[in-house]
Structure 1
Amino acid sequence: MEHPHGGFDAGGDVSIWVVVVRLALLLVSALVAGSGLVVVVPHRVRAANFALAALAVGLVSVSVLVFDAHVLGGLAHGVLVVLVPVLLGRPVVRWVAAALTLLLVIETSVGDSGLLLVANTVYVAGAVAWVALSSSERFRQHALSLGVVLALAGLVRLVSSGIAFDRRVFTTLLGAGLVVVVLLPLAALGIRRAGTLAVAAGLLAWSGLAALPPPQELPVPGVPVLASAGKVPVLISPHRPGRNLVHFPASAGALTVGVGSSEVPAVPVAGADGTWAEVDLPAGRGSLTVRSGSGSSTVRFDTGTAPGPAPDVECASAALGGLLGGKREALTSCPADALSTEDADSLAKLVAFLKNKGVASVRLVSDSSPRGVQAAALVRSGLPVSDSGDALVVLSGWSSAFSALSRAGAEQAERPVYPHGLYVAPWLLTTPIATSVTTLAVPLRFDPREQLPIGYAVEVGNRFGGANPTPAGFRSWLGDRPAGSQVQIYAVAQVTAMPMGPGEAHGPGMPMQEELAGQWVPKATVVPVSPVLS
């Protein structure tokens, strides 16, 4: 019968008792249905059927009362399973047994369609037929065909799982279960007396497959790994031999990462979300251990032998966005390796905007990366640069930007500095950077309040433990889709409610509550403060 949420959610938080009750009910009901298809029923089978029906009714009651199973489904299941022993020996019992078998097929097919639905129907109905035929003298005439049909249905399930032709079929619980549902019907052919037990075990394994978590993707050298350590999402980047970053969401709490005999704590990094552990991975296949106060889990890796980019938090965020967008590509470059055409255009328009505001000079913060050097040269070509500039323009990487803005915020608290404000490059719209000061401005080609940016923000939050969005991740997640071509200056301010006049509607980007799904900077407002820049 249908349990909460329409059946088992593979990989979800399914209680072991829900699994036990469901599998027990399936087995008992299959035995009852099978006996109902028998022409002549011995007296001992009748007595056993009443006992099995009583047990099934008890399991149905537990499912409905304790596990919130569907009431109407439970009622139908209970009525059918009781009617079979009551009507045994009468022609009509076969119709009741067939209806019970159909109900078992429906209950075990939740979420299936197409070929998988056919395979499930064949396996469940075939197992019930085996129970019915096993008491017949003519059983041997049908056993071979029935066993082969069951094995073929299991083979369909195995091949459609996507792990039939790689090592996960031997190294994961799901793989073991899939092999069992194929082999047990064949094994039953050689053990006539215990054959029914083998088929019953195969049916239990078949139904239990839905409760097993899906195996993680096989790691590919150079493709960053997005996996789970227990219930904690984890990212390994760049996934090459040598120094790597292991990233966790802030919601994961205190964790350590072990590789071989070394163990490294995951700690916050300035300007970045979540926690990070720098570890050295050997060449080839292996696994690292993620430990918390409550236990440990392992995550497999396969770094290959070729070198890769240096570990970098922005690069890792870009890799995460690509993985969430469905791209499993080797990481060969990072955002800081070059100033993109889009960012160069945005910075050029920022320079023109500042000149039009009457900014005489700016204080510049950059770094030695190729992107930082090119961006600094672009700004210097349009505006004078001095330590006492009217505005602060930050073009560095995440950590340097966080430090520079934190210092600027402290300076502003002591004396009037930067009268024309604080500006950051488009790649610096991360939550830690944006909230390091009371307000700052950034030239963007996309509106964080529109559908695509919100969709990415929601997805990264849902799939990586509440993580916040980043421009690098958004660009990778977008792939070939354009983010926008028009540049505007957006102000980021740590305010979440704006005073409104009587009857005045909300201004876009001015939420009246702190936590909204898809916000780019939680507990802050991101709104345009300039027209489209030409």
Structure 2
Amino acid sequence: MEHPHGGLDGGLGTGASALLLVLRLVLLLTGAVVAGIGLLRPQLTALPRRVVVVAAVSAAVSAALALVSVAVADVHWLGAVGHVLLAAAVPALLRWPTPARWAAVALGLLLVVETTAGRSGVDFALDTAYVAASVAWFGFAALTLLVPPSQHRPGGPRPGPLALTLGGVLVVAGAVRLVGSGLAFDRRVVGSPAGLVLLAAVVLPLVVTALAAFLRAGPKAYRYGTLGVAAGFLAWTAIAAVPVPPALPVPGVPVLADTAVADRLVPVLITPHRPGANLVHFPATAGVDLKVSADGGPEVAAVPRPGAEGTWAEVELPEGRSDVTVSRGGSSDTVAVDTGTERVDTRATGDDGPECASAALGGLVTGRKDVLTSCPADGLSTQDDEALRKLVGFLAARGAAGVALKSDPSPRGVRAAEVVQEAASGLGLRVDPDQGTDNALVVVGGWATAATALSTAGTQQSEAAVYPYGLYVAPWLLNTPLVSSVTTVAVPLRFDPRETQPVTYAIEVGNAFGGESPTLAGFHAWLGDRRGDVDGEPRVFAAAQVNVMAMGPGEPHAPGMPMNEELPGQWVAKATIVPVSGVLLD
């Protein structure tokens, strides 16, 4: 019988999920008692009525809960039927020791499967050891506490030494699971439900084992220790239903977390995760009216930023551990942070902060936990230098007389402007800030600068015939807010956004962060050492707000021409991106 894995209904925060957890625990515990009695039946020379009653009542409870679980939990009916039949078979076969033992063995194996909840390898072996030792303990507890010594078969296992052995198996299995979980040596072991459950699965059997060694007597050990083993067994079987706690925050590594605010799951990204000014980012799907406070400080409203998606709040984080509180109305949730003590001067806030956060998100999505030491606007890459030079050559070949250049004071923006000016001067093109009637607009600043430049250009084009050679942006400006702000914009790229890797990244970042759109900075961070896979020769791509094409019934559409507004993996929502040039020449 398969039980939910990794949390019931999103964790233990609701009454329904708590009831499901109780159902699961009682079902498995009563099943283990039944299996234990059947397993140890051959050790009896007679069958006292009290043993039969305990087995029958436990079997009835376990079978009933198995049937209930089909209706209220994610349990396959076939597994539930198997559980019911085996639980009923053990008390029915108690008159015949050998058949009862085999039925108990089968039930015990089923309990292992139910407890593992889909785990394999070392975890499966640990589950098998813990469940088997618990079942054997319950069996010897029934043998010792319910049956007079005169009805024990001579030559059987000695209860005292067996208690030490079974307790030791439980302690070792629990300790290995605890250490393997990664929670054993940090504060999450006592600060999270998962850590407390694992700790109970180790500590309770340890107490029972120490008690058995101290008492030096079988009956007393089982009398006082059975409750401890039962509680440890309940803790062990609860592991699969308790959500895994998030990893501890590391100073300088941006934090990606989920918060529950006003009955909604709201993703949150915190960069650069250092003492001082930090950006807290929410996706557009999180809605409005979110507020952020740090370590009990004043609330800061999350608001849009030019050229960036979603909303942003800039807050001051103290050194070391603290909490960032996200709230909407009367609902709030917290994110644990640990900024350390080192203050690092980066461009992770200010106008270039959103792009830097996007780069951090790309790395986090692919599983890397890199310390944020630099941002994309810190310098112009060799690849982008070449792409801008070739873009100017493309404009000259098209007949443009000049370039209206828009930049910003960031190191990348300053160098990019110099590159465009050098290339234009070499080809005899004017470089000026005016729109002109024979110019092309080239934007090489950051997102905020580009947002203003493109918005202004769109307004100007609606009023007069300006920029007849088009609007062009640097590669790092390919994102939904910027491209969607004008009808058509062109960008020199070294990859095709419709290919497998860019589409895969776009889907992954959207899934991980509330539908967030892809960016070049995030894509490069997502690629990491694989960036060379997409660094081809630059071509000019046009992004236009056209995504519906009339086609005949059943007629296949061309690559890059989506037939609906929301296609997974699109780099710019509700837009089409296609190449409009061949490989750019020097």
TM-score by length of 2: 0.87
SS in 2 for 1:200: helix
Structure 1 equivalent of residue 148 of structure 2: none
Out of 128-137 and 421-430, give the one that drifted further. 128-137
Correspondent of 2:63 among 57, 68, 86: 57
Structure 2 equivalent of residue 411 of structure 1: 460
Equivalent residue runs for 1:114-193 within 5 Å: 114-137=121-144, 138-189=158-209, 190=211, 192-193=222-223
Contact 1:11 1:214 in 2 (8 A): no
**Deviation of 1:445 (Å):** 0.7
Out of 123-132 and 308-317, give the one that drifted further. 308-317
Correspondent of 1:445 among 494, 497, 501: 494
Structure 2 equivalent of residue 305 of structure 1: 341
SS in 2 for 1:527: strand
Return structure 1 stretches of 4+ with deviation > 4 angstroms.
Answer: 501-504
1:42 and 1:291, CA in 2 relative to 1: closer, same or farther beyond 3 A? farther
Structure 2 equivalent of residue 369 of structure 1: 410
1:502 and 1:359, CA in 2 relative to 1: closer, same or farther beyond 3 A? farther
The letter for the 1-side match of 2:313 is: A
Which structure 1 residue ranges, 5 or more long, are not aligned? none
**Deviation of 1:180 (Å):** 0.7
1:359 and 1:285, CA in 2 relative to 1: closer, same or farther beyond 3 A? same
Structure 2 equivalent of residue 90 of structure 1: 96
Q: Distance in 2 between matches of 1:183 and 1:150?
A: 10
**Deviation of 1:170 (Å):** 2.2
Structure 2 equivalent of residue 72 of structure 1: 78
Q: Distance in 2 between matches of 1:528 and 1:50?
A: 74
Equivalent residue runs for 1:6-21 within 5 Å: 7-10=4-7, 13=10, 15-21=17-23
Structure 1 equivalent of residue 419 of structure 2: 378
**Deviation of 1:213 (Å):** 1.8
TM-score by length of 1: 0.96
Equivalent residue runs for 1:241-280 within 5 Å: 241-253=275-287, 254-259=289-294, 260-280=296-316
**Deviation of 1:275 (Å):** 1.4
**Deviation of 1:152 (Å):** 0.4
Q: Distance in 2 between matches of 1:42 and 1:270?
A: 80
Contact 2:117 2:240 in 1 (8 A): no
Correspondent of 1:399 among 433, 448, 453: 448
Q: Distance in 2 between matches of 1:145 and 1:51?
A: 28
Which structure 2 residue ranges, 5 or more long, are not aligned? 12-16, 145-157, 212-220
SS in 2 for 1:227: strand
The letter for the 2-side match of 1:277 is: A
**Deviation of 1:112 (Å):** 1.7
Equivalent residue runs for 1:463-478 within 5 Å: 463-478=512-527
Out of 129-138 and 344-353, give the one that drifted further. 129-138
SS in 1 for 2:143: coil
The letter for the 2-side match of 1:355 is: A
SS in 2 for 1:289: strand
Structure 2 equivalent of residue 232 of structure 1: 266
> Are residue 204 (structure 1) and residue 234 (structure 2) matched?
yes
**Deviation of 1:317 (Å):** 0.8
Out of 61-70 and 334-343, give the one that drifted further. 61-70
The letter for the 2-side match of 1:220 is: V
**Deviation of 1:83 (Å):** 0.9
**Deviation of 1:97 (Å):** 0.7
Contact 2:171 2:203 in 1 (8 A): yes
Contact 2:5 2:240 in 1 (8 A): yes
Contact 2:197 2:239 in 1 (8 A): yes
Q: Distance in 2 between matches of 1:119 and 1:244?
A: 43
**Deviation of 1:470 (Å):** 0.7
Q: Distance in 1 between matches of 2:200 and 2:527?
A: 41
1:245 and 1:393, CA in 2 relative to 1: closer, same or farther beyond 3 A? same
Q: Distance in 1 between matches of 2:271 and 2:464?
A: 42
1:2 and 1:423, CA in 2 relative to 1: closer, same or farther beyond 3 A? same
> Identity of paired residues, percent?
56
SS in 2 for 1:185: helix
> Are residue 45 (structure 1) and residue 51 (structure 2) matched?
yes
Correspondent of 2:331 among 295, 298, 323: 295
Q: Distance in 1 between matches of 2:552 and 2:393?
A: 35
Q: Distance in 2 between matches of 1:345 and 1:86?
A: 82
**Deviation of 1:294 (Å):** 6.3
**Deviation of 1:504 (Å):** 5.0
Correspondent of 1:526 among 543, 567, 577: 577
Q: Distance in 1 between matches of 2:187 and 2:553?
A: 66
